[in-house]
Amino acid sequence: SIPAGVRRGAFIVFEGVDRCGKSTQSKRLVDHLNSHGVDAELWRFPDRQTAIGKMINSYLTSQSEIDDAGVHLLFSANRWEKRDAMLRKLQAGTTLVVDRYSHSGVAFTAAKKVPGLDLDWCKAPEFGLPAPDLVFFLQLSVEAAAARGGYGEERYEKEAFQEEVLRQFLSLRDPTWQVIDASASIEDIESKVQTHATEAISHAAAAQVHAIGG
Ligand code: FDM
Ligand code: MG
């Protein structure tokens, strides 16, 4: 059981198109927090280590074909299988900095424009998952992202598709998101991120973890 009086950690998510700097910034944030004595861990979705994550990895690397609805539910299940562990960490006082979460799930499937898999359908399996306290959206044009060295070989790493993903992210964006211009320097972005994250950590300590849709 969790000792009384432990301040819970904050649940902080980074979202954005591929190559927008999510991985760099999430790692820098965790290093910064740890070096200031804040208990924080870097997580990412998909978590390719689990059995479900291995199926997702094989799909993303085109070693397997999975129906669009099916793989959407696998991505969501990959978050659900981590739900208890996320809540335990947060309640024990660990701040979780997470590279991609539900908004990626919704944006990437909605971007496929598959009949029947509309926004509501894409959001439904996310309802009930732990809701982030803070979402950073690193906003970058696909042109600028592609100019950073081009995309890799994975299934979704195509410019036209990333354009549609960006449109979906922008339609999901809500006023609680911290939208950050990801074309700025790493250091400028990092300092904005630190400011908002520090604030979120102090607010989270006094609040319950919410559920998506709840
Ligand atoms: N992705 C990621 C999804 O399609 N749905 C999801 O729920 C999540 C979390 O998986 F193209 C996509 C986004 C990306 C791919 O992600 C692999 P990483 O961050 O590049 O490993
Ligand atoms: Mg990738």
Q: Is 132 in the pocket of ligand 1 (CB under 6 A)?
A: no
Per cent of the chain over pLDDT 90 is 94
Banded model confidence at residue 1, pLDDT cuts 50, 70, 90: very low
pLDDT mean over 111-122: 98
What integer pLDDT is reported at residue 4 of this predicted model? 58
Q: Is 104 in the pocket of ligand 1 (CB under 6 A)?
A: yes
Measured between alpha carbons, how far is 206 from 174 in angstroms, rounded to an integer? 23
pTM (2 d.p.): 0.97
Measured between alpha carbons, how far is 92 from 71 in angstroms, rounded to an integer? 32
Best of 57, 156, 159, 162 for a ligand 1 pocket test (most atoms within 8 Å of beta carbon): 156
Measured between alpha carbons, how far is 208 from 101 in angstroms, rounded to an integer? 19
Q: Which tokens is 41 given?
A: 């861990």
Give the ipTM of the model, two decimals please: 0.98
Q: What are phi and psi of 208, to 5 degrees?
A: -70, 155
Q: Is 45 in the pocket of ligand 1 (CB under 6 A)?
A: yes
* Domain assignments of the chain as residue spans, ordered by start: 11-204
Indicate whether 2 pLDDT > 60: no
Asked if 127 and 76 count as a contact pair (C-beta separation under 8 A), the reply is: no
53-84 residue pLDDT tens: 999 999 999 999 999 999 999 999 999 999 99
127-155 residue pLDDT tens: 999 999 999 999 999 999 999 987 889 99
Domain made up of 11-204: CATH architecture: 3-Layer(aba) Sandwich (3.40)
What integer pLDDT is reported at residue 3 of this predicted model? 53
pLDDT mean over 12-33: 97
Measured between alpha carbons, how far is 160 from 10 in angstroms, rounded to an integer? 35
Q: Is 156 in the pocket of ligand 1 (CB under 6 A)?
A: yes
Indicate whether 193 pLDDT > 70: yes
Q: Which tokens is 180 given?
A: 């950050």
Q: Find the range with the poorest average confidence among 109-118, 143-152, 204-213.
A: 143-152
Banded model confidence at residue 28, pLDDT cuts 50, 70, 90: very high
DSSP string over 146-181: HHTT---SSTT--HHHHHHHHHHHHHH--TTSEEEE
According to DSSP, the residues that pair with 100 across neighbouring strands are none
